């Protein structure tokens, strides 16, 4: 079978569109946010895609992310950068989750998190559009993926993270060739520095949703889920929500698949899961608001979802509401308990953000929000190996008497 990257395939982007006003923007030129200060969405000629591509043709291709080429923005195959973006598996967790629960394990992607999906696309587009220097605020995983892909294509990167970002993240960012700075603030404080430098023309701003193409990369999670389920989507999806790129992307993917006639109008209920120490979307959802105010004093062990303010807040809230889902908050103790039980009972080491989805699912079972017989997908967005684990301090003196009964 030939690689998805050795074949030039036609591309179908028609334009970009402001997610709040609907205003049209030209494709193939560099854009940040729309004039209204909101994310831009990539639009395709889906009728033409439909005439070119069938589910059968797609099924014959290798299963990596570039199989979806006609639904992705990169024009020139030579601009594609890749570190092996595989289709991630759906892993049952019968003991800690239950018989109908699958974990989409995104920790197996390059750089160990699903940030690779978004950044591989955004970096390919940056290359295509001639960007030479990029800056980004990050809680860790996005910075690592940015650094890796940019080093590969020779784009310079400057990354800013909160000073308490997990040590491993800061080091992997540096190791993969970015200049990384620890900042005494939260991710939106880092974002302010990036924004200031961008306004001065020092670099291109790669903050979440402030360039249009990360959503397109994250969208492939929704495309994959549909294909993996035989073009039938699960009943409910639990997604750990920070900036919300993945949730917004999947929601967009489902629409595009319906327009292609590959799925029907049914949608999973989308559950946006946040940590109760940083839950701006949950608060806005419960108050019936369209936008979410900044969450003060944000704290949680789940660093990837410690996002006090999201520019795509209204897109997350819309998708959750249209789907009949909810925004759910879970506490750190429940998150850590879920991580431990999944690891000890089912042998799958989740990241804390993934643990949050399992904790939220169990809570939703208790409250009757979901039924045990519904097909549920939880997202584990990074490998658990990137996060601090409880110590295992026992030692054994091989020269002394060994009490084998006590081992
Ligand atoms: C970034 C991140 C999230 C949140 O993803 P968004 O799509 O930005 O909401 C969740 N979990 C992990 C591990 C992350 O790195």
Sign of the CA dihedral 283, 239, 142, 221? negative
**pLDDT tens digit string along 257-296?**
999 999 999 999 999 999 999 999 999 999 999 999 999 9
Residue-level pLDDT at 209 = 92
Looking from the CA of residue 242, the nearest atom of ligand 1 is 9
381, 384, 385, 388, best to mutate for ligand 1 pocket (most atoms within 8 Å of CB): 381
Cα 404 to middle of ligand 1, angstroms: 44
- The token duo for 336 is 């850590």
CA angle 101, 107, 109 (to 5 degrees): 120
Question: Of 407, 380, 385, whose CA–CA distance to 395 is shortest?
Answer: 407
Ligand 1 centre from 25 Cα, in Å?
A: 28
* Residue indicated by tokens 């993917």: 253
3 state SS for 161-173 = EECCCCHHHHHHH
Contact predicate 32/47, CB 8 Å = no
Rounded to 5 degrees, what angle do the CA atoms 267, 273, 276 make? 155
395 CA distance to ligand 1 middle (Å): 37
Give the Å distance between the CA of 242 and the centre of ligand 1.
6
pTM exceeding the 0.85 threshold for the entire prediction: yes
Q: How confident is the model at residue 3 (pLDDT cuts 50, 70, 90)?
A: confident
Average pLDDT of the chain, as a whole number: 96
CA distance 351 to 149: 22
Ligand 1 center from residue 237 Cα (angstroms): 15
Strand partners, 238: 271, 378
Q: Which run of H or of E encompasses 50? A: helix 46-52
pLDDT > 70: what percent of the chain?
100
Residue with CA closest to ligand 1 atom 12: 304
How much distance in Å is there from the Cα of 208 to the middle of ligand 1?
Answer: 10
DSSP 232-260: ---SEEEEE-SS-HHHHHHHHHHHHHHHT
What stretch of H or E contains 354?
A: helix 352-367
- For a mutational test of ligand 1's pocket, the pick from 173, 246, 252, 338, i.e. the residue with the most ligand atoms closer than 8 A to its C-beta, is 246
Q: Is the pLDDT of residue 201 over 80?
A: yes
Q: Taking phi first (over 0 means left), then psi (-120 to 50 degrees means alpha), and beta for anything else, what does residue 310 get?
A: beta
Ligand 1 centroid – CA 322 distance (Å): 22
Q: Which ligand 1 atom minimizes the distance to the CA of 316?
A: 9
Three-class SS of residue 101?
strand
> Ligand 1, from 113, 143, 162: best to mutate by most atoms within 8 Å of Cβ?
113
Smallest CA separation from ligand 1 atom 15, residue:
304
State the pLDDT at residue 2: 64
**Minimal-distance CA residue to ligand 1 atom 8:** 243
Q: Whose CA is nearest to atom 2 of ligand 1?
A: 304
Dist. CA 196 → ligand 1 center (Å): 24
pLDDT at 301: 92
Pocket of ligand 1 (CB under 6 A): 113, 115, 141-142, 208, 240-246, 304-305, 351, 353, 381-382
Mean pLDDT of 300-314: 92
pLDDT tier, 8 (very low <50, low <70, confident <90, very high otherwise): confident
| pLDDT of residue 1 exceeding 60 | no
Is the Cβ–Cβ distance between 251 and 225 less than 8 Å? Answer: no
The mean pLDDT of 356-376, rounded to a whole number, is 98
How many CA within 13 A on the CB side of residue 123? Answer: 29
Which residue has the least CA distance to atom 14 on ligand 1? 304
Instruction: List all residues 6 or more positions away from 192 whose beta carbon is below 8 Å from its beta carbon.
Output: none
Residue 7, pLDDT > 90, answer no
| DSSP 8-state assignment for residue 63 | S
Judged against a pLDDT cut of 60, whether residue 344 lies above it is answered with yes
Contact 306, 241 (CB under 8 A): no
Q: What is the pLDDT of residues 19-62, one digit of tens each?
A: 999 999 999 999 999 999 999 999 999 999 999 999 999 999 99
């Amino acid at each position: 079978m030939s690689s998805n990257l050795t074949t030039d395939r036609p591309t179908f982007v028609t334009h970009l569109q402001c997610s709040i006003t609907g205003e049209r923007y030209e494709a193939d030129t560099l854009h940040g946010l729309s004039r209204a200060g909101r994310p831009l969405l990539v639009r395709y000629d889906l009728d033409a895609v439909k005439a070119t591509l069938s589910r059968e043709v797609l099924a014959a291709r290798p299963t990596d992310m570039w199989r979806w080429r006609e639904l992705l923005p990169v024009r020139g195959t030579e601009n594609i950068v890749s570190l092996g973006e595989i289709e991630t598996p759906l892993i049952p967790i019968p003991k800690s989750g239950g018989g109908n629960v699958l974990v989409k394990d995104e920790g197996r992607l390059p750089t160990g998190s699903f940030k690779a999906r978004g950044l591989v696309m955004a970096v390919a587009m940056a290359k295509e559009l001639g960007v030479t220097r990029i800056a980004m605020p990050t809680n860790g995983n996005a910075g690592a993926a940015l650094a890796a892909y940019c080093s590969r294509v020779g784009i310079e990167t400057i990354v800013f993270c909160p000073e308490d970002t997990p040590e491993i993240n800061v080091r992997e960012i540096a190791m993969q060739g970015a200049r990384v700075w620890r900042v005494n603030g939260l991710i939106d404080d880092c974002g302010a520095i990036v924004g200031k430098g961008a306004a001065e023309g020092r670099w291109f701003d790669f903050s979440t949703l402030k360039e249009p193409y990360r959503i397109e990369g994250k969208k492939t999670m929704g495309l994959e889920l549909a294909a993996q389920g035989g073009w039938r989507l699960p009943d409910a999806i639990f997604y750990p929500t920070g900036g919300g790129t993945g949730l917004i992307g999947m929601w967009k993917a489902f629409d595009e698949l319906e327009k292609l006639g590959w799925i029907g109008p049914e949608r999973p209920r989308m559950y946006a899961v946040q940590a109760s120490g940083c839950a701006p979307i949950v608060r806005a959802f419960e108050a019936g608001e369209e936008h979410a105010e900044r969450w003060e004093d944000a704290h949680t062990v789940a660093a990837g979802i410690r996002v006090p303010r999201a520019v795509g807040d209204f897109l997350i809230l819309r998708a959750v509401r249209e789907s009949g889902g909810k925004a759910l908050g879970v506490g750190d103790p429940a998150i850590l308990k879920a991580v431990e039980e999944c690891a000890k009972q089912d042998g799958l080491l989740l990241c804390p953000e993934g643990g949050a989805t399992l904790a939220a699912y169990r809570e939703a079972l208790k409250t009757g929000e979901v039924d045990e017989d519904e097909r549920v997908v939880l997202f584990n967005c990074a490998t658990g190996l990137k996060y601090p684990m409880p110590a295992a301090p026992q030692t054994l003196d091989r020269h002394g008497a060994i009490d084998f009964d006590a081992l």
